């Protein structure tokens, strides 16, 4: 029955004469809980508070900064130790934001928690996954995930897909006594199994533990920042060593002043705020999406969203609403409509877990007329039909099939013309046919006599058209992959404004490259099997596309698992929610634009502000090298660089990192950041050191070093604020106000006497301050030309 929702099945066999397993008694459950035989697998939604604190506090650079801070507290005024208080504040902010994100994740995970049905004291009850105990009897049906290992005790046409565990694509038929493994999921039929392994002993839990032990979900942003920090560490060690020697040994200075200037040279080499800002941006992204009832099960998924250029959509439950109704019943070959309605009623009554399609049939045909199913062939997405042998109460049995007309009927059958006409209107059509063969025959559909066309209508999601329009505006291609008739799916897509060729997936080539070409040339694909969905996602990925897959049914599981980003509806099957990185708990397709926009905001803004941090690192390293080579005092005290970092990096980076950003992220994070940071840092260092050397020639006598430092600080601030002005483009009113506010803050320090004293900044005379401005102006013009050249010549 191809038009049924994914994960549905039709006509499962009613319980046999043997009594079903009653499950455990309350006392037996309590006994197993006391022995610790419970399913205590930890929830993966977030890490513990202790892990959050440890990750934010115990870092390599916090250790470096902490040691330097302690030294400065003993040898210099408190204003030279401000950088330590900034690190404390940053760490605190990081912990609080990630803790808030954890609370959001945990609360959403609780809302979307799978609650399996178990039998206790002879009654079926829903319990939390962590409440399952050894020997519990669990009921399973289409779309349900097997959450613990067990042995099948009841099977009504039960078929389980174990491909996520074994790689075997074909569903496995299960009979009483067969083993079922956690991590697999039901694709057809139903049944029950007794739990034999729970908690960390279960197969899927062992796999997850091994995976978490040896691998992490890939994040280019995270690995790129780690690479940058590793290079920074390598640069810092020799540079800092040379700086210490030059300031303490080569220059015959006061020891405390030399130590202060040495620390002043080392501290700005550390991009200490970059990791914090990344964590905060991700955490706030989780919180923002949480407010939209969007559960992010893996944090790197936010980053992946920013890179998506193709989104694959299932029709049912995504573009259309779940409910439907029967709008027509067309008898064929002179069949009696009243009899057909009784047959359909019997098919509906035989299924203990009817899906939307079958519920509509039950509503339209509630009376089975005494007929009941004695045997059944459950629906599967691969077969695209179901069947049942019905006993009419008069000793005569008949086998009926219900499914896709173009699968059950041979080409050229007259009924297909009427089906095509209805499909062109976007209607869903099922064929009821009487089989001439036994239900166990692999060719049961061959020679079936068509009896009726059942016409169902689905309602389009009111927000689907706007969502598809958003994707088109953002240059994200939408592909509809559906198990329904291609013409019907194409008609629905057309109503939503989605243009492009419509293809029957049965005619797609199996070879990956050829399939990729076909996918690039069309938009809507019908009659897609679950394995084909998986293959189509792989074909798109092989052509360089970053693919998001949305779905809610069991036939979407394999594709969701293989896609770069899997998005499941909250009302979807347990299996789809388990493998998806993102779950839309409100079942709203309209949430997707917000999800994609949040991903772009995070990755785009972090790429932008990372340049600010790394420009500082580059100019700090180069200044230290030039100081060592020139054998002069380091031009800055820690307080100067704390002030500059706060005004040109820390405060503006926080606002820029949280600003809207719709640009789709591009790959090669490290290369994209460093191609601006290296020339920007080099220009800033050369301009600053040039001003410093000129000031050394100009100023003499007592207080000369303070005057030289103030002049160099002015140049470095002007160049750094120009870098900020470039990074802030394209300008909006608040970006201009942000840059202007930072400039006003520095001006305030220069004109307020007590701030002058606090930061040891006092411009002396007129000549050198104007020279500093002139050098900064030349540096700013050089930056503009250099970065334009980089845009044209250096690949991103």
pLDDT digits (tens, 9 = 90+) for 464-508: 888 888 888 888 899 999 888 888 888 888 888 888 888 888 888
Q: What is the pLDDT of residue 3?
A: 35
Q: What pLDDT, on a 0 to 100 scale, did the predictor assign at position 216?
A: 35
In whole angstroms, what is the distance from residue 52 CA to residue 95 CA?
6
Cβ neighbours of 723 (radius 10 Å): 26
Convert the pLDDT of each residue in 115-162 to its tens digit.
888 998 888 888 888 888 988 999 988 878 888 889 999 888 788 887
Provide the token pair at 244. Answer: 């210490």
For the beta carbon of residue 584, count every other beta carbon within 10 angstroms. 27
Tell me which of 113 and 64 has the higher pLDDT: 64
What are the structure tokens assigned to 300, written together? Answer: 């790197």
Mean pLDDT confidence for 318-331:
80
Q: What are 198's two structure tokens?
A: 């729970």
And the tokens for 738?
Answer: 């942000």
Q: Could you report the per-residue pLDDT of 291-310, keeping only the tens digit for each? A: 888 877 766 677 777 788 89
The tally of CA atoms less than 13 A away on the side-chain side of residue 459 is 10
Q: What Cα–Cα distance (Å) separates residue 255 from each residue in 268, 479, 757?
A: 21, 69, 22
Q: What is the DSSP letter of 647?
A: I
- C-alpha distances (whole Å) from 721 to each of 709, 714, 738, 746 are 18, 11, 11, 10
Is 775 a residue whose pLDDT tops 90? yes
> For the chain, first and last CA: distance in Å?
49
3-state DSSP assignment of residue 249: helix
Number of residues in the chain: 796
CB-based contacts of 241, cutoff 8 Å, min separation 6: none
CA dist 789 and 467 (Å) reads 38
**Could you tell me if 460 and 316 are in contact, meaning their C-beta atoms sit under 8 angstroms apart?**
no
pLDDT above 60: residue 252 = no
Query: How far is it, in rounded angstroms, from Cα 690 to Cα 35?
Result: 75
Between 29 and 227, name the one with better pLDDT: 29
Return the SS3 of 208: helix
Q: What is the pLDDT of residues 187-233, one digit of tens each?
A: 878 889 999 988 777 765 555 443 333 233 456 777 777 787 777 77
Give CA 571 to chain center in angstroms. Answer: 18
Which position among 314, 484, 535, 552 bears the catalytic label?
314
Q: Say if strands 502-504 and 524-526 run parallel, antiparallel, or are unpaired.
A: parallel
Tokens of 561: 């698992």
pLDDT band at 738 (very low <50, low <70, confident <90, very high): very high
Checking if the pLDDT of 251 tops 60, the result is no
Determine if residue 475 is left, alpha or beta; phi over 0 gives left, psi from -120 to 50 gives alpha, anything else beta: left
Question: Which strands form 310-313's sheet, in the order they lie side by side?
Answer: 294-296, 582-584, 565-569, 547-551, 310-313, 477-481, 524-526, 502-504
For the segment 22-33, the average pLDDT, to the nearest whole number, is 87
Query: What is the spatial distance between Cα 722 and Cα 704, in angstroms, rounded to a whole number?
Result: 28
Sketch out the chain's domains with CATH numbers.
77-103+220-286+596-793 (1.20.1110.10), 114-214 (2.70.150.10), 320-460 (3.40.1110.10)
User: What are the backbone dihedrals phi and psi of residue 137, each rounded to the nearest 5 degrees, phi first?
Assistant: -100, 120
pTM of this prediction? Answer: 0.70
The answer to whether residue 504 is catalytic is no
Contacts (Cβ under 8 Å, ≥6 apart) of 93: 276, 280
The tokens describing 734, both together, are 């608040």
Cα separation, 98 vs 95, in Å, equals 5
Q: Write out the two tokens for 710.
A: 């103030």
């Amino acid at each position: 029955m191809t038009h049924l929702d994914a994960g549905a099945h039709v006509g499962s066999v009613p319980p046999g004469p043997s009594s079903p397993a009653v499950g455990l008694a309350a006392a037996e459950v309590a006994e197993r809980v006391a022995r610790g035989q419970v399913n205590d697998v930890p929830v993966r939604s977030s890490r513990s508070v202790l892990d959050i604190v440890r990750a934010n506090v115990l870092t390599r650079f916090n250790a470096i900064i902490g040691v330097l801070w302690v030294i400065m507290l003993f040898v210099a005024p408190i204003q030279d130790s401000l950088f330590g208080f900034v690190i404390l504040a940053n760490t605190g902010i990081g912990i609080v934001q990630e803790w808030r994100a954890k609370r959001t994740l945990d609360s959403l995970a609780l809302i979307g928690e799978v609650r399996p049905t178990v039998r206790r004291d002879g009654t079926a009850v829903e319990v939390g996954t962590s409440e399952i105990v050894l020997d519990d009897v669990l009921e399973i049906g289409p779309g349900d995930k097997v959450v613990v290992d067990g042995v099948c005790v009841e099977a009504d046409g039960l078929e389980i897909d174990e491909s996520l565990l074994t790689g075997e694509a074909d569903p496995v038929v299960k009979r009483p006594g067969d083993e079922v493994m956690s991590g697999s999921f039901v694709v057809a039929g139903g049944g029950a199994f007794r739990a034999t392994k729970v908690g960390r002993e279960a197969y899927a839990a062992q796999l997850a533990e091994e995976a978490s032990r040896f691998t992490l979900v890939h994040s280019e942003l995270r690995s790129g920042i780690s690479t940058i920090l590793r290079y920074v560490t390598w640069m810092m060690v020799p540079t800092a060593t040379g700086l210490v020697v030059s300031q303490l040994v080569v220059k015959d200075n006061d020891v405390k002043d030399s130590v202060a200037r040495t620390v002043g040279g080392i501290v700005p080499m550390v991009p200490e705020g970059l990791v914090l800002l990344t964590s905060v941006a991700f955490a706030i992204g989780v919180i923002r999406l949480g407010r939209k009832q969007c559960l992010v099960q893996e944090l790197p998924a936010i980053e992946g969203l920013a890179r998506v250029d193709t989104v694959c959509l299932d029709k049912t439950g995504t573009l259309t609403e779940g409910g439907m109704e029967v709008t027509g019943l067309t008898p064929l070959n002179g069949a009696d409509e009243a009899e057909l309605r009784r047959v359909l009623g019997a098919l509906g009554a035989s299924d203990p877990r009817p899906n939307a399609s079958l519920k509509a049939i039950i509503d339209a045909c509630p009376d089975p007329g005494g007929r009941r199913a004695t045997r059944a062939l459950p629906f599967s997405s691969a077969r695209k039909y179901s069947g049942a042998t019905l006993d009419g109460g008069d000793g005569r049995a008949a086998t009926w099939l219900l499914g896709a007309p173009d699968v059950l009927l041979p080409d050229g059958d007259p009924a297909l013309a009427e089906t095509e006409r209805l499909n062109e209107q976007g209607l869903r059509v099922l064929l009821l046919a009487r089989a001439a063969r036994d239900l166990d025959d692999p060719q049961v559909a061959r020679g079936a006599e068509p009896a009726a066309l059942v016409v169902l209508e689905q309602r389009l999601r009111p927000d689907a058209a706007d969502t598809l329009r958003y994707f088109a505006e953002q240059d994200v291609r939408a592909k509809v992959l559906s198990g329904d008739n291609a013409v019907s799916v194409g008609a629905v897509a057309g109503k939503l404004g989605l243009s492009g060729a419509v293809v029957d997936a049965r005619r797609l080539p199996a070879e990956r490259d050829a399939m990729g070409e076909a996918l690039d040339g069309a938009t809507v694909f019908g009659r897609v099997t679950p394995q084909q969905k998986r293959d189509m996602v792989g074909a798109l990925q092989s052509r360089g596309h970053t693919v998001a897959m949305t779905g809610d049914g069991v036939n979407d599981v394999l594709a969701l698992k293989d896609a770069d980003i899997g998005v499941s509806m909250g009302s979807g099957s347990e299996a789809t929610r388990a493998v998806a990185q993102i779950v839309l708990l409100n079942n709203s397709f309209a949430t997707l634009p917000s999800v994609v926009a949040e991903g772009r905001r995070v990755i785009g803004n972090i790429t932008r502000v990372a340049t600010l941090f790394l420009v500082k690192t580059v100019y700090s390293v180069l200044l230290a090298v030039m100081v060592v080579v020139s054998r002069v005092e380091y031009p800055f005290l820690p307080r100067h660089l704390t002030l500059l970092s706060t005004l040109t990096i820390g405060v503006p980076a926080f606002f820029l990192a949280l600003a809207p950003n719709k640009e789709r992220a591009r790959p090669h994070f490290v290369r994209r950041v460093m191609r601006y940071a290296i020339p920007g840092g080099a220009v800033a260092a050369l301009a600053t050191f040039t001003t410093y050397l000129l000031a050394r020639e100009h100023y003499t006598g007592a207080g000369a070093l303070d005057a030289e430092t103030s002049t160099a600080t002015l140049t470095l601030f002007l160049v750094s604020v120009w870098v900020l002005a470039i990074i802030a483009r394209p300008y909006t009113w608040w970006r201009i106000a942000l840059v202007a506010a930072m400039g006003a803050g520095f001006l305030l320090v220069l004109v307020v006497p007590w701030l002058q004293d606090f930061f040891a900044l006092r411009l002396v005379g007129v000549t050198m301050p104007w020279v500093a401005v002139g050098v900064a102006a030349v540096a700013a013009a050089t930056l503009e030309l250099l970065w334009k050249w980089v845009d044209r010549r250096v690949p991103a």
